[in-house]
Structure formats: structure tokens, C-alpha cells
């Protein structure tokens, strides 16, 4: 049985990924902050969990220790899905908030991949969930967009390094997704998180290295750099 680890496992895209992976015969390890929510996923079967806060600098070590306690010696798929955003002007965000968003959205995926690399065999897959905002400037999410843009840059280079180890890195760029991220103000046309999870599952099976959800999102790559996009929100 193949084993997959999913961060941000308890909500949105992560929850559907856990379900989809289990249905496809994987043993899934979920990582999230809420043990209560992680326990709820146990009813799906073939599921274990690790409670970890990716805002903490020692998070990758906590995950590694958790895998050792579970007796996991191989990860066929690592999905770096966890992330969050701050919906307020940049000048109103505290230094702590900025540090947290970059640690979760940017640093944690790279640190976790590095910390678990020896468990990922040749032919294994590392998935990094990014966002279409890496190609545009969304004024309402300055720190979120910046953290994902930085992760995009790191992921492109990480991909080159993993290829040498015969490990496939899959970069995923969804448009807006209907999740609690929006604080009840979900934009019209936002994706269902299940659709994103299905696209990721398909990419894992095919080994496709770059995924845009929906497919037409790939066009944003070819827009003039940093066009400004504004949601009709009021801070």
C-alpha cells in the first residue's frame, strides 16, 4: 500500500485530498493543528495523523518525529497543501502576522520536503499547492500573494534539484477556491475545493508537473507581468 502525507488535512482542499487518496488505496497521514478535526477523519479508514503547527520553526521536526512514532519509513506522495491568507491592508498587518504567513505558506513546504526527503523513493511525488495570484497583483491579499509568489520561485528551483533524485515535483495553481479563507465573502465563480483535489489526484497519477485549475488559468502565465487585479471588497 502506498503512503501519502497531506498538510492542511482538515479543511478545504486538504480534506478532499485525504478522502480521494484513501479511496484510491493510499494510507494517508494527515497533518494539521486541530487534533479534534483530525480524529474526525479517522472514520475514513487507512488514516493516521500528526498534530503540528506549521507556524512553528520546529514543525518539520515534529512531523518527522510523528512519522517515526507511526512506523512510517516511506512516503510515496508528499502534498504541501497547508496555507492561509490575511484579508487586510499591508500597513495594518503586524510583523508577527507577516512572519506567520511566510512561514506557513513559503518556508514550511520547502523545510518539510527537505526534512522528509530520505523517506521519498525514486518515482515519488511532491505536490506544492500554489495559487494563480503568483502571476498577478491582488491588492487585497498583498502578503498572501507575496508568500505564494516566493514559494513559486522556490518550487521552480526545487523541482530541478528533485529531478536529480528522480522525484517528481508537481506545482498546482488554482484560481480562487471556496474555503474559510474568505471569511464568508467568497468571490463569485470560486472553485469547489473538491475540484482542485481531483485535479491534484489526476496529476499524481499522470506525473504532470504543472497543473492549472481550471485549465484556462494557464493563460495568466502570459499576461504582462504583475497586472493589478482588485476584488470588490472593503477592508
Would you tell me the crossing angle of helices 108-115 and 142-163 to the nearest 10 degrees? Answer: 30
User: What Å distances lie between residue 109 and 4, 22, 52, 58, 151, CA to CA?
Assistant: 15, 22, 13, 13, 8
Please give the tally of structural domains in the chain.
1
Global pTM? 0.90
The answer to whether residues 70 and 89 touch, using CB atoms and an 8 Å cutoff, is no
Q: Helix or strand or coil: residue 222?
A: helix
Q: What pLDDT sits at residue 233?
A: 45
Q: For residue 162, tell me if it sits in a domain.
A: yes
Q: For residue 234, tell me if it sits in a domain.
A: no
What CATH number is associated with residue 42?
A: 3.40.50.720
pLDDT per residue as tens digits for the range 200-235:
999 999 989 999 986 666 666 666 555 544 444 444
Q: For residue 191, tell me if it sits in a domain.
A: yes
Q: For residue 38, tell me if it sits in a domain.
A: yes
Place of cell 506557513: 104
Q: For residue 63, tell me if it sits in a domain.
A: yes
Q: Domain containing 68: what range? A: 3-229
Q: For residue 235, tell me if it sits in a domain.
A: no
pLDDT per residue as tens digits for the range 69-81:
999 999 999 999 9
Give me the residues paired with residue 171 across strands.
Answer: 128, 210
Q: For residue 83, tell me if it sits in a domain.
A: yes
pLDDT per residue as tens digits for the range 39-82:
999 888 999 999 999 999 899 999 999 999 999 999 999 999 99
> Nearest to residue 25, comparing CAs of 209, 205, 211, 207?
205
Amino acid at each position: 500500500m502506498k503512503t501519502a502525507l497531506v498538510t492542511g488535512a482538515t479543511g478545504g482542499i486538504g480534506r478532499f485530498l485525504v478522502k480521494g487518496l484513501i479511496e484510491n488505496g493510499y494510507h494517508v497521514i494527515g497533518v494539521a493543528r486541530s487534533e479534534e478535526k483530525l480524529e474526525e477523519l479517522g472514520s475514513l479508514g487507512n488514516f493516521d495523523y500528526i498534530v503540528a503547527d506549521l507556524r512553528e520553526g520546529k514543525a518539520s521536526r515534529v512531523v518527522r518525529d510523528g512519522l517515526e512514532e507511526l512506523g512510517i519509513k516511506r512516503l510515496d506522495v508528499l502534498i504541501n497543501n497547508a496555507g492561509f491568507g490575511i484579508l487586510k491592508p499591508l500597513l495594518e498587518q503586524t510583523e508577527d502576522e507577516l512572519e506567520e504567513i511566510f512561514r506557513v505558506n513559503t518556508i514550511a513546504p520547502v523545510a518539510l520536503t527537505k526534512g522528509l526527503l530520505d523517506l521519498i523513493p525514486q518515482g515519488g511525488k511532491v505536490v506544492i499547492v500554489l495559487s494563480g495570484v503568483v502571476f498577478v497583483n491582488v491588492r487585497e491579499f498583498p502578503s498572501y500573494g507575496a508568500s505564494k509568489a516566493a514559494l513559486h520561485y522556490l518550487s521552480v528551483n526545487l523541482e530541478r534539484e528533485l529531478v536529480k533524485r528522480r522525484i517528481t515535483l508537481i506545482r498546482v495553481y488554482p484560481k480562487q477556491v471556496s474555503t474559510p479563507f474568505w471569511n464568508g465573502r467568497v468571490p463569485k465563480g470560486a472553485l469547489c475545493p473538491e475540484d482542485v483535489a481531483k485535479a491534484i489526484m489526476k496529476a499524481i497519477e499522470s506525473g504532470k508537473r504543472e497543473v492549472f485549475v481550471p485549465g484556462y488559468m494557464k493563460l495568466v502565465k502570459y499576461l504582462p507581468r504583475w497586472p493589478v487585479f482588485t476584488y470588490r471588497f472593503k477592508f
